[in-house]
Amino acid sequence: MDASTELKEKKFNRIIAIVSIVVPIVVAALFGVKIPNVEPLTFLPPIYASINGLTAVVLVVAVWAIKNGKRELHQRLMTFCIGLSLLFLLMYVAYHMTSDSTTYGGEGIIKYVYYFILITHIILSIGVIPLVLRTYARAYLQKYAEHRSLAKLTFPVWLYVAISGVVVYLMISPYYVH
């Protein structure tokens, strides 16, 4: 690896570490902020759940693209997935800054299933940030062997986060107050 690439990688790693720490902290902090005198954005949950679903579909298509030698399409689709994830995050935070949290109303075993999916979704959504950014950076730096190796972990985690986000929405949607 030449010195220029090594320097870029160090810079990326520093930025990725900062983003991976700051984003979850900011999101958690913003959960405690309620914007007064603003109409609750109760229309957002089905939209951001749909964005999660679209992300899952695009991730699968992107894997298909790279396995079929369509590198440029793969790159565009993965960039689109990152954009979708950012859009999801903005809507998710906006909803929670304008609306009260919804309590899950299911009972019995389904309640435990819901909380298991929710907790794993939250934990992995935090962990997927550095995975996605490192995987993307390795491709950007043309370190394709390392990119492929890390993508084998990143893809299933990101796919789980996207799909479980939809499942969590579907499970809690009957309890939303509109």
Residue by residue, pLDDT tens for the chain (178 residues) are 688 888 999 999 999 999 999 999 999 999 889 998 899 999 999 999 999 999 999 999 999 999 999 999 999 999 999 999 999 999 999 999 999 888 999 999 999 999 999 999 999 999 999 999 999 999 999 999 999 999 999 999 999 999 999 999 999 999 987 6
Q: Which tokens is 21 given? A: 């720490």
Whether residue 17 is contained in a domain is answered as no
Could you tell me the pTM of the whole model? 0.93
Whether residue 95 is contained in a domain is answered as yes
Whether residue 137 is contained in a domain is answered as yes
pLDDT of residue 4: 83
Q: What distance in Å separates the CA atoms of residue 133 and residue 158, rounded to the nearest whole number?
A: 12
Contacts of 133 (CB under 8 A, 6+ apart): 12, 15, 16, 19, 20
pLDDT of residue 36: 87
Residue 151's domain comprises 40-175
Which amino acid would we find at residue 3?
Answer: A
Q: What distance in Å separates the CA atoms of residue 140 and residue 142, rounded to the nearest whole number?
A: 5
Q: What distance in Å separates the CA atoms of residue 164 and residue 88, rounded to the nearest whole number?
A: 14
Terminal CA-CA length for the chain: 56
pLDDT of residue 1: 64
Q: Which tokens is 15 given? A: 């930025």
Whether residue 129 is contained in a domain is answered as yes
pLDDT of residue 138: 96
Whether residue 25 is contained in a domain is answered as no
CATH assignment of the domain containing 100 = 1.20.120.80
pLDDT of residue 175: 92
Q: What distance in Å separates the CA atoms of residue 112 and residue 78, rounded to the nearest whole number?
A: 33
The number of distinct structural domains making up the chain is 1
Whether residue 50 is contained in a domain is answered as yes
Whether residue 155 is contained in a domain is answered as yes
Q: What distance in Å separates the CA atoms of residue 99 and residue 42, rounded to the nearest whole number?
A: 7
Contacts of 87 (CB under 8 A, 6+ apart): 48, 51
Whether residue 108 is contained in a domain is answered as yes
